[in-house]
Amino acid sequence: MAVINSITPMNTHTMAVTTRINVGTTTTLLVCVLVFIGSTISVCNAQVAAAAAPAVYIFGDSLMDVGNNNYLPLSIAKADFPHNGVDFPTGEPTGRFSNGWNAADFLAKKIGLPTPPPYLSLIGGVAPPITGVSFASGGAGILNETGGLLFKQSIALAQQVEHFTMVHDKLVHQLGPSNAHIHLSRSIFPIVIGSNDLFAYFNLGSTVANQYTRQQYVDRMVSSFKGLLEALYGLGARKLVVAGVGAIGCCPVRRKANRTGECEVEINYWSTKYNDGLKMMLQGLKSESLGMNYAYFDTYGAMINLFQNHETYGFREIKEACCGLGNLNADVACIPLATYCANRNDHVFWDLYHPTEVVASLFSDILYSGSRQLMVPMNVEQLLTIIKASWLYRSIVTILVLANMVVSTSKSSLPEPDYHSRTESPISGKKKTAPPILLLKEVVSTSKSSLPEHDCHSRTESPISGKKKTAPPILLLKEEKESDSPALGDVKSDIIPSASVLKQLAIGVETTKVIKSIKDLMILSRDSSAVKDRSGLSLSAMKSFVVGEKEDKFVAEFGHDKKVMSFIHLLMDPEGHHSRRKAKSRLDTTTIATKFSKELHGAPPESFVPELAEAIGSLKTLKKMALFWSRVVLELRRLWCEGKHIPGIPPDEIPNLNSCLLHQQLQVINCCISRKRRRAIATESLDSVLKQANNKSVLPPPSGDILPESHLMYARISTGELVLRLGADKRLENTTLLDTGEPVYTPVMQEWPLLTEDIIKETEEFVLRTGSVGAGCSQLLSDMQAFKAANPGCILEDFVRWHSPPDWTDDESKEIIDGGMSPSRGHLSTRMQKEGNLWRELWETAKPIPAVRQSPLYYEDLSVEGILHGLENISPSGLFEQLFLSLLSSGCAIAEARISSNEILYKMFKECKDYIVLICQSKSWVEKAQDICQVYETMAVMALNPNKVIRLMNPPPDESTTKEKLWKTPSRNQENNTTTAQFSTMFSKKQPKPASISC
């Protein structure tokens, strides 16, 4: 293939030279070429028999998911628990929503390729295999709002396409642009999606049903799908396999609503309407896209045919799910508590929505070699024939060119690969506007070029000079005087955050409402006339800083902003900076700080977020704010990769839901760092135990002997055999196992997921919508497995006594044996004794596996990566709003701490504070940001100059007249408390807006 890419069309001189070749030489070459072609065709046929396409890249929903959702933190939309996978070769759940293999497995096998691995399993440095990757995710939809309630529960199609861009870029790096294009143009791209979008519309309580008519909704589905297919085409996809939506009204979950168990007519009707639009869209897209071919699978027609002729295909049950509980086994999903049928090959449906393995195999056969009745305009086998023909034709032309026997080649018969298809129309050759997702990718790539992601494997190279380093780089502050940072000349400005900084953040909130992300803000500010002359410097400065150019343009641009450079010092040297921060603390008590942080939903004073707010608020342009934020996220990524805690954030505290979301997310990052450290220690401890157990010099005594203290890592089970304890934490006092009398040890368990307010809300909505309890089952199963590993020979009753004491009742009488108490006897609670109890079901499936060897319930890497990705794409208005409230709460807390001892000032301060809290707790506080800034500025004056304010409030007798004029007291009868008069005006219904203050 590398030879093909080096070929160029022959010019006239080359053709002339070719014609002068003598007949003998020509004959010899011709014979050699024909022999070579024959051998090449034989080799080609052998290779095609093994794999007709070089790779398969799978997109879609749960019908094609091979385990991506296993790696989603907190996701409930999973199939990694029994009884899924009961017919899989290993007999264990794999993440497939099936009793065994699914359509993705069968299709890949027919093409001659292994099942592509889930994309999320490759995160962490694993290179994607050249034979393909699966991006499909259970619960995914075409429309992003379909996953609105499933955010971080499934991966929408747009996000799957974005994941593919990462694989695309790695292929280009690995194979080179030309070979990567050829590889992708010959690969197969199956896409099975759309059912969840229609379910979302027709489910009870659907919000989208109130926004769109049925026709508008299916039109949006088709239109959005087209844009995403155009994006895949722009990334090199040429051979598509697209499945329409099936007769989803015939799924058990929809049939159960009908007393007769018949299909739901309405949702089936709109499934066909969507499919009609999809087929027309695919036809139009093919005519617009050079080199594109597709195979469309009429899933709806195949399902109806199966229902009508099910006995012919060997099925007896077409309505009821094999696995589940209740009416049609569709009231409760296929969870460990449910039951499943023994005759699975007789059933069409495995669970509420998904087909059995045998149906998936049947439909894959139709996909591969079905007739035009169900496959339009061709099937997958015919699609592969096009790939074979194209490959063979290229090979023949290559051989002829190498032999100098081609006199002319028709360009029309072999079009060149459209390597520039992203920006040039394949029809007219003119420049065209890229699809929306491509425009977004260009924005992302532009941003990345100016600010590349931190490489977790390049810690030894300085981002400034490119030289080797032993410690994080420290930027040198320039000795130049600050010119555009407010209030830095005032020594007292460091006591309480400046009001001018707060005003800058308020301006940021108001002016960026229509901008979706920080990256968009960087692009817009770069192109705006106000900063156009300096934008190139900003972007190149960030780029040069990261890639290691000698001139530190970041310092050149931000060196005057002392708040900014101080904050960068804090990030780059968190350990050394911590003591200096503590020495300069502006707050003596945390009680006030906690109260303000809770009331305003901000962040604790002197923590990371308020200091960040001061740094960003000290900048004078949105462009600088956006660039600096991008730099901060880059540093956060570096700290995560190096396993260093974020300064100003507790190292191991669960998210404080009273704080802003940004503070919660930073808490999650620090917690994940601490958890990874603990896991490493636990792993080392377990390895040490295993190593000691393998040491013959420390083997336990023979069976029947009493175990000495040095051998407490072993436990004797009922057969007398000694079994190694794994993952034991500490001994539970005065408790022994019921069957063996061995002491009970509490196990080291997996830690609970870290929940921020947005994750909690989405999880609650998902549970209310689906009734799923999958995540809870996973946690309970994990605890059972850890308990079994730490306590060999234990039974369910032992676990319940430790894990849920209220469900165990001890017998009143206990026998005394050999001077000691016998193992406690008693009975389980009524709910635990019921037949089909979930705990007993899980206990029987649980295996003795220590926590550190179990599949994680919470993936720290994925969770933090999701947070960092979100911070890179955060809404600027949302960011500035959180910074504003955090800085406001911090400043108010510091001011209150300084004023609280002064009874006279504190009374007026409390009036100011109550006003700010009342306004900020309303949703429309942004409209009154100017008033908030005015009140805050007054509070700052009171905190910074309390004696001066008191003197003004209580002037000497000879200065009373001057005092009255200064404060413009409206009445002689009014008290000379002019500050109170000012506040009474400020908190009136018609509030003044001084021209000198602007937020």
pLDDT score for 403: 52
- Torsion angle of the four alpha carbons 535, 539, 540, 546, in this order, in degrees rounded to the nearest 10: 160
Alpha carbon 179 to its chain's center: 31
Same domain, residue pair 84 and 158: yes
- Identify the three-state secondary structure at position 488: coil
Residues 6+ apart with CB under 8 A from 512: 521, 622, 875, 876, 877, 880
Q: What is the mean pLDDT of the chain?
A: 77
Residue 345 has pLDDT above 60, yes or no: yes
Q: Could you identify the residue written with the tokens 């165990």?
A: 808
**Whether the Cβ atoms of residue 190 and residue 241 lie closer than 8 Å to each other:** yes
Mean pLDDT calculated for residue range 356-367: 97
Q: Is residue 62 flagged as an active site residue? A: yes
Q: Would you report the helix, strand and coil content of the chain in percent, each value rounded to 5?
A: 55, 5, 40
pLDDT score for 587: 53
Entry pTM: 0.56
pLDDT tier, 526 (very low <50, low <70, confident <90, very high otherwise)? low
CA 724 – CA 788 distance, rounded (Å): 11
Q: How far is CA 468 from CA 118, 456, 457, in A?
A: 36, 15, 13
- Identify the three-state secondary structure at position 325: strand
**Whether the Cβ atoms of residue 475 and residue 554 lie closer than 8 Å to each other:** yes
Mean pLDDT calculated for residue range 739-751: 92
Residue 708 has pLDDT above 60, yes or no: no
Q: Tally Cβ neighbours within 10 Å of residue 65.
A: 33
CA 734 – CA 645 distance, rounded (Å): 40
Mean pLDDT calculated for residue range 943-954: 77
CATH number, domain of 89, equals 3.40.50.1110
Q: How many domains does the chain have?
A: 4
Tell me, yes or no, whether 679 lies in a domain. Answer: no
Helix (H) or strand (E) holding 898: helix 876-899
Same domain, residue pair 817 and 966: no
Task: Please report the sign of the dihedral spanned by the C-alpha atoms of residue 917, residue 919, residue 920, residue 921.
Answer: positive
pLDDT tier, 150 (very low <50, low <70, confident <90, very high otherwise)? very low
Secondary structure (DSSP) of 348-409: EESSSSPBPHHHHHHHHHHHHH--TTTEES--HHHHHHHHHHHHHHHHHHHHHHHTT--S--
Q: Which of 62, 517, 863, 877 is catalytic?
A: 62
CA 464 – CA 554 distance, rounded (Å): 10
Mean pLDDT calculated for residue range 746-763: 88
Q: What is the pLDDT of residues 887-929, one digit of tens each?
A: 999 998 888 888 888 888 888 888 888 888 888 887 778 888 8
Question: Percent of the chain having pLDDT more than 90?
Answer: 44
**Whether the Cβ atoms of residue 297 and residue 245 lie closer than 8 Å to each other:** no
Q: Is residue 351 flagged as an active site residue? A: yes
- Identify the three-state secondary structure at position 820: strand
Buried b (16+ CB within 10 A) or exposed e, 628-640: bbbbbbbbbbbbb
Closest by alpha carbon to 88, among 80, 182, 967, 956?
80
pLDDT score for 551: 37
pLDDT score for 428: 40
Same domain, residue pair 879 and 929: no
Same domain, residue pair 232 and 340: yes
Mean pLDDT calculated for residue range 568-596: 55
pLDDT score for 905: 85
Mean pLDDT calculated for residue range 148-165: 80
Instruction: Count CA atoms within 13 Å of residue 858 on its CB side.
Output: 20
Same domain, residue pair 534 and 558: yes
**Whether the Cβ atoms of residue 250 and residue 320 lie closer than 8 Å to each other:** no
Would you call 413 exposed, middle or buried from its count of C-beta atoms within 10 A (0-12, 13-18, 19+)? exposed
Residue 746 has pLDDT above 90, yes or no: yes
Q: What is the pLDDT of residues 534-576, one digit of tens each?
A: 333 343 443 443 444 433 556 666 656 666 777 777 666 665 5
**Whether the Cβ atoms of residue 197 and residue 228 lie closer than 8 Å to each other:** no
Would you call 420 exposed, middle or buried from its count of C-beta atoms within 10 A (0-12, 13-18, 19+)? exposed
Tell me, yes or no, whether 225 lies in a domain. Answer: yes
Q: Is residue 484 flagged as an active site residue? A: no
**Whether the Cβ atoms of residue 315 and residue 348 lie closer than 8 Å to each other:** yes
Same domain, residue pair 883 and 905: no
pLDDT score for 770: 61
pLDDT score for 384: 92
Domain with 240 in it: 55-388
**Whether the Cβ atoms of residue 131 and residue 183 lie closer than 8 Å to each other:** no
Same domain, residue pair 843 and 908: no
Residue 213 has pLDDT above 50, yes or no: yes
Mean pLDDT calculated for residue range 785-792: 96
Tell me, yes or no, whether 665 lies in a domain. Answer: no
pLDDT score for 193: 98
pLDDT score for 992: 40
Ramachandran category for residue 659: left, alpha or beta (phi over 0 → left; psi -120 to 50 → alpha) = beta
Tell me, yes or no, whether 522 lies in a domain. Answer: yes
Residue 7 has pLDDT above 80, yes or no: no
Same domain, residue pair 809 and 956: no
pLDDT tier, 719 (very low <50, low <70, confident <90, very high otherwise)? confident
CA 985 – CA 982 distance, rounded (Å): 5
Which of 891, 924, 954 is the endpoint of a domain? 891
Q: Which of 168, 181, 354, 645 is catalytic?
A: 354
Mean pLDDT calculated for residue range 802-823: 67
Tell me, yes or no, whether 12 lies in a domain. Answer: no
Q: What is the pLDDT of residues 826-844, one digit of tens each?
A: 889 988 888 888 898 899 9
pLDDT score for 969: 41
Same domain, residue pair 844 and 916: no
Mean pLDDT calculated for residue range 52-60: 95
Q: Which amino acid is at 495?
A: I
Same domain, residue pair 878 and 907: no
pLDDT score for 948: 76
**742 or 699, which is more confident?**
742
Q: What is the pLDDT of residues 391-408, one digit of tens each?
A: 665 555 555 455 544 444
pLDDT score for 771: 57
Task: Classify residue 459 by its DSSP letter.
Answer: T
Q: What is the pLDDT of residues 78-94, one digit of tens each?
A: 999 999 999 999 999 99
> H-type helices in 7-132, by residue range?
12-19, 23-50, 103-111
Task: Classify residue 290 by its DSSP letter.
Answer: T
Rg of the chain on CA atoms, in Å: 35
pLDDT score for 813: 54
Task: Please report the sign of the dihedral spanned by the C-alpha atoms of residue 204, residue 205, residue 208, residue 211.
Answer: positive
Tell me, yes or no, whether 409 lies in a domain. Answer: no
Q: Which of 105, 351, 552, 798 is catalytic?
A: 351
Tell me, yes or no, whether 128 lies in a domain. Answer: yes
Q: What is the pLDDT of residues 253-285, one digit of tens each?
A: 999 988 889 999 999 999 999 999 999 999 999
Which of 836, 858, 891 is the endpoint of a domain? 891
Q: Please tell me the total number of residues recorded for the chain in this structure.
A: 999
- Out of 139-148, 206-215, 248-257, 594-603, least confident range: 594-603
Residue 492 has pLDDT above 70, yes or no: no
CA 682 – CA 261 distance, rounded (Å): 53
Same domain, residue pair 885 and 956: no
Residue 225 has pLDDT above 90, yes or no: yes
- Torsion angle of the four alpha carbons 392, 393, 396, 398, in this order, in degrees rounded to the nearest 10: -110
pLDDT score for 294: 96
pLDDT score for 586: 53
Q: What is the pLDDT of residues 921-935, one digit of tens each?
A: 877 788 888 889 988
pLDDT score for 540: 42
Same domain, residue pair 879 and 937: no
Helix axes 876-899, 622-641, angle to 10 degrees: 90
**Whether the Cβ atoms of residue 280 and residue 309 lie closer than 8 Å to each other:** no
Mean pLDDT calculated for residue range 109-132: 90
Which of 388, 410, 429 is the endpoint of a domain? 388
**425 or 619, which is more confident?**
619
pLDDT score for 696: 55
pLDDT score for 981: 41
pLDDT score for 83: 93
CA 74 – CA 165 distance, rounded (Å): 25
**Whether the Cβ atoms of residue 295 and residue 240 lie closer than 8 Å to each other:** yes
pLDDT score for 823: 52
Q: What is the pLDDT of residues 20-50, one digit of tens each?
A: 334 444 444 444 444 444 444 443 333 333 5
Tell me, yes or no, whether 421 lies in a domain. Answer: no
CA 346 – CA 482 distance, rounded (Å): 79
**Whether the Cβ atoms of residue 512 and residue 622 lie closer than 8 Å to each other:** yes
